[in-house]
Structure 1
Amino acid sequence: MADRPRPKLLITDLDNTLWDWFDAWYQSFSGMLEELCELSGVEQDVLERQIRAVHQARGTTEYSNLVNEVPALVAAAAPDAPAVAFNEALHVLNSRRKSVTKLYPGVRESLASLKNAGVRVVAYTESGAFWTEWRMRHTGLDGVIDVLYSAPDHDLPDGMRPEDLRTGHLPPSAYGLKVTKHHHVPRGVYKPSEDVLRSILEDQGCQPSEAVYVGDSLMKDIAMARATGVLDVHAAYGQVQKRPEYGLLQRVSNWPDEDVERERALARDSAAIIPTISCAERFDEVLSVFDVALASAQ
């Protein structure tokens, strides 16, 4: 720490670092799944297996066209489309997502304090573009974060466009980010890829010694930052792997089996990766790394 210059760039993860993505996902997805089981009569374990297959094919756990591609739901809904027959389940998903998605305490004030001190703030997430942009708008971070680096959106069935998945009657101007610049990382490249982090540093004109990276995943965020020479800060408050509900995410996620097993092994051995700095309770603990005081809440 002593031989490093004062950092001028914060690179932050988003999910489970700035907001509790897992809780919002679990509350909304489990509610939808319960409704789907009741409405369709299909057993939950059958739905879980088929949902995971769709998630793996599309490369995301937040696939907007999911119910229309689950074979058991297609059969149960015939001759209607599952999204029509089981609309009540989708309503549960969307309403819970809106009500539960919110910033962790101190995040907004911390980011404002850093920007006021001249620190540039960028974000890097593996989540897809559409739902990342939605969470940025929903939590009021459009313009607070200078640049967003995210995965591109998932693949869609032939002939389907992203706008075909939009519900309601909002104009195109209601989507996307208005102030924050949004760049995509290469498709199929995931954390802990050092190449992506190095490309972000190059894009920002910043040396590794001038940057700080904060994220919740020891296996992905912290390992990547350390390998790249960026000061790593662990958002320990955002770890969710030991929550009982986390098993549902593992059962339906798009992650390869080897990633799930590696994560389980790491959860059993918390000393496998030791972060340089840890934020135990709140995001605003990262301010001490920059020698910046917390701004007053607005």
Structure 2
Amino acid sequence: MSVSLVTVAHVNSPSDLHPRLLVTDLDNTLWDWFAAWHGSFSAMLDRLIEISGVPAEVLEPQIRAVHQARGTAEYSFLLDEVPALVEASGTVPPSERYDEALHQLHSRRRAMTRLYPGVLETLTVLKEAGVAVAAYTESLAFWTEWRIRWTGLDELIDRLYSAPDHDLPNGLTREQVRTKADDEYGLQHTKHLPLPRGVMKPNAEILRSILDDCGVQPWQAVYVGDSLMKDIAMAQSVGVLDVHAKYGQAHEKAEYELLRRVTHWSDEDVEREKELSLRPEVRPTVVLERGFAELLPVFGLDRVSA
């Protein structure tokens, strides 16, 4: 099925026969998280190696240790907690000494964080049709909220379910680390509902709680995500119509090796991923081959290609 830009001439509310709720994964489903992470992190790492003189084989395992301690590969205070950088920077905090590297990280992140084609248009159509949209992600709060704001999805997503953010460095408060106005943080329209810390997909109980929270039965919902073992298997276990965002799979890319070397995953998480990969093949009910816009017919909504 090939779909380009989506426009809808007449949108009516879905009938009782059509789903009322879309539950969507975020990373590599609505946007290419991996491309943005790799492009920004690798740019920062290359600049760090260049200006600090600390080689990659020293930096990468120390970075991984920090990421594991903080539970994320997007830790905002990373440089100040990497021992080799602390030693190399002398009396100046690494975040100040190596500000050029952080500039590379932030500028690349902004440039490369963008929605997949058709996402904005499709979510707009669903919103106009009266379909509620909930997002469920393993990513932590701060950067998830930033991506939703940056991509213009605040308000198009009704509810966000994510883990709380990582702890701040010892001795710092949220007020001390924030440099912008309060309205430039968080979400203005999307309701953010925190999940318990450490919850990982597939988790049928969390998905059931999302359905209960949104007031729908499994047959009234659709779940879309890029991971067969995490997203699709979870949806099937709950009886929700599963839709595979095949276009978003990233784990087969060669660049993925950098994420593995600096990942926040614990050894137990890595073993869990291996165990999931050995399970019987999951066959999705609906497959989005080329883009998110192919989702509209699932809701009984017309589409035309521009």
Measure how far apart 1:266 and its partner are: 6.6
Which residue of the partner structure matches residue 62 of structure 1? 74
Q: Secondary structure at the match of 1:53?
A: helix
**Alignment match, 1:173:** 183
Does structure 1 residue 291 correspond to structure 2 residue 281?
A: no
Question: Which of 248, 261, 284 matches 1:238?
Answer: 248
- The aligned residue for residue 282 of structure 1 is 291
Q: Which residue of 1 aligns with 2:235?
A: 225
Could you tell me which amino acid in structure 2 is paired with residue 288 of structure 1?
A: P
Task: Give the CA RMSD over aligned residues.
Answer: 2.0
Letter in structure 2 aligned against 1:228: V
Deviates more, 1:32-41 or 1:216-225: 216-225
The match for 1:205 is: 215
Q: Could you tell me which runs of 5 or more consecutive residues in structure 2 were left unpaired when the two chains were aligned.
A: 1-15
Paired with 1:44 and 1:237, the residues of 2 have a C-alpha distance of 31
Distance apart, 1:260 and its partner CA: 3.2
Q: CA deviation at 1:296?
A: 8.8
Deviation at 1:5, TM superposition (A): 3.7
SS of residue in 1 equivalent to 2:250: coil
Q: Could you tell me which residue of structure 2 aligns to residue 45 of structure 1?
A: 57
* Selected match of 1:146 from 158, 163, 175: 158
Gaps of 5+ in 1: none
Q: Match of 2:195? A: 185
Residue 295 to residue 164, structure 1, CA distance change in 2 (3 Å)? farther
Once the 2 structures are TM-superposed, how far is the Cα of residue 259 of structure 1 from its aligned partner?
Answer: 3.5
8 Å contact kept, 1:113–1:294 = no
Deviation at 1:231, TM superposition (A): 1.1
Aligned equivalents of 2:172 and 2:201: distance in 1?
29
Tell me the residue number matched to 2:226. Answer: 216
The structure, 1 or 2, with the larger RCO (C-alpha pairs under 8 Å, 6+ apart) is 2
User: What count of residue pairs does the alignment treat as equivalent?
Assistant: 291
What amino acid is the match of 1:150? S
> Normalising by the residue count of structure 1, what TM-score does the alignment of the two structures yield?
0.92
- Provide the rounded CA distance (Å) in 2 between the counterparts of 1:261 and 1:47: 24
Answer whether contact 1:113 1:293 (CA < 8 A) is retained: no
Bigger mean CA offset, 152-161 vs 280-289? 152-161
What is the one-letter code of the residue matched to 2:126? L
Once the 2 structures are TM-superposed, how far is the Cα of residue 270 of structure 1 from its aligned partner?
10
CA distance in 2: counterparts of 1:144 and 1:48, whole angstroms:
38
Q: What does residue 25 of structure 1 align with?
A: 37
1:248 aligns with 2:275: no
1:6 to 9, 12, 18: 18
Partner SS for 1:127: strand
Separation in 1, partners of 2:175, 2:110:
20
Secondary structure of the 1:158 match is coil
**Corresponding residue for 1:104?**
116
Match of 2:91 in 1: 79
Structure 1 pair 294–182 and aligned structure 2 pair: CA distance change class (3 A): farther
Change (3 A) 1:294 1:132: farther
Q: For 2:139, what is the secondary structure of its paired residue? A: coil
Question: What is the CA deviation profile of residues 104-142 of structure 1, one whole-angstrom value per residue up to 9, with x for unaligned ones?
Answer: 000011011111221111111111111111111110000
Q: Which amino acid aligns with 1:104?
A: Y
Q: How many angstroms does 1:257 deviate by? A: 2.8
Residues 77 and 169 in structure 2, CA contact (< 8 A), matched pair in contact too: no
> Residue 266 of structure 1 contacts residue 272 of structure 1 at CA under 8 Å; is this kept in 2?
no
Report deviation, 1:208.
Answer: 1.0
CA distance, structure 2, for counterparts of residue 192 and residue 161 of structure 1: 33
* Partner residue, 1:95: 107
Q: 1:272 aligns with which of 278, 281, 284?
A: 281
